[in-house]
Structures are given as structure tokens and as C-alpha cells.
A and B are shown apart, each in its own frame.
Chain A
Amino acid sequence: DQQVKQNSPSLSVQEGRISILNCDYTNSMFDYFLWYKKYPAEGPTFLISISSIKDKNEDGRFTVFLNKSAKHLSLHIVPSQPGDSAVYFCAATTDSWGKLQFGAGTQVVVTP
């Protein structure tokens, strides 16, 4: 039962433009959401998170938006840089230090 879904397996964006990654979830008990970035042959690296009591969290070039009524969150990266090329995973949990449930990931390619 896939409770976290990333329906876009890949995204190509030009350097300097905005990247928008989407994530949908089905479990209304999720109360903490995270985005991870993964390069080949490395473990996932934490990017940004958001609690269910908020609808936006910003950290530098990264902003996460949460729409609880739609059970949808998105990650905005602006401006996109070549080093942002990686696989991005959306994850969710029912408590801030419990097990994470991940989406299948979105491969982002930033072109010059």
C-alpha cells in the first residue's frame, strides 16, 4: 500500500529556472513531511521538512508547500543549479522521529 506517491518519475529544467516537484499522500495521520535528495552511490541527504501545522517552510533556495486538504505537498527549488541534478524523495511520518514512508522519487536534471 503506497501511501506516499510521486507521480513524476523525471523532471528536466533549465539552469536558473524554477523546479517544482510534487508529492501526494493518502494517510491523513501523517503529521511531518520531509524531502531528501540522493546522488548515485550515496545515501539520501535531508533537504527540508514541514510540520502539518504549517503550510510553508523556506530554507534558502528550497521551499516546501503543504496543502493538507488536498493531501499534497510540493518542493520548489529556485533558482535551479546544475548541482541540483539528483533524485528527490518525498517522505512522511506520523511522528517526527518515527519510521519514514517514502515516495518512489523524481529524477531532476538541470540543464545549462
Chain B
Amino acid sequence: DTGVSQDPRHKITKRGQNVTFRCDPISEHNRLYWYRQTLGQGPEFLTYFQNEAQLEKSRLLSDRFSAERPKGSFSTLEIQRTEQGDSAMYLCASSPRDPKGSTDTQYFGPGTRLTVL
């Protein structure tokens, strides 16, 4: 399977703890995106990378959040001092730099479900 993978799939933590999630994009996809989805809502954009460069960050990404893609391949999203409001599904997606027709778009991983107690 060469799809987007995310690890872990589920994470339960106590308020105040730090957590880190990993995303492995589809091989050779230059762009990598992080989204957050809460119950009853659609995914909300957090940030994206082209290769190792972080090109845009949402206002949702407070200073407790940091994302990296050090070698332009996998990415990590770290949340420091977690709060109950951070509980959500964190989704990663990847896309090729040059879409080949209208069907090339963002391909999502299965997500990491974070629960902050």
C-alpha cells in the first residue's frame, strides 16, 4: 500500500503533556498538509510544506504547535502542553507538485485521533 500513513492512529494523553504525531506521505509527493477535524465539522487547514519548507501556517496553529519536515519526506506535528480543546482528529495529506490533470489532488491519511483528558 503506497498511501499516506499516520502514526499513531489513536493517542490518549493527560492535559499538560506533549504529544508528537508522524505522517509519511505518498512517495515523491512534494507537498504535505496537516488538517484538524473536530466532531461535526469538516477538516480545518493547519499548515503545509513543499519539500522541507513550511509555506503557510493557519492562525489555528498556536505557538504550542510545531510541525517539521526535515528531509522533505515524513513530517511530525508536535503539540506541547496539551489542552482539552486540542482533542480532535489530526489528518495529514500529500499531493504532487504538478497535478497531472484534474484528478491529482490531496490524498489523505487515516488520521490520528487525539483525546486529551
Contacts and interface: CB of A to CB of B under 8 A. Distances in A.
A34 B105 contact: yes
Contacts of B111: 42-43
Interface string B102-113: 110111111100
Given A36-B108, A45-B108, 12 more contacts: A4-B42, A6-B42, A43-B109, A46-B103, A46-B106, A49-B102, A49-B103, A51-B102, A57-B102, A89-B43, A97-B31, A99-B58
A103 B106 contact: no
Interface in A30-46: 34, 36, 41-46
A75 interface: no
Interface of B: 4, 31, 33, 35, 40-45, 48, 56, 58, 91, 93, 95-97, 99, 102-103, 105-111
A96 B99 contact: yes
Interface of A: 4, 6, 34, 36, 41-46, 49-51, 57, 89, 91, 96-105
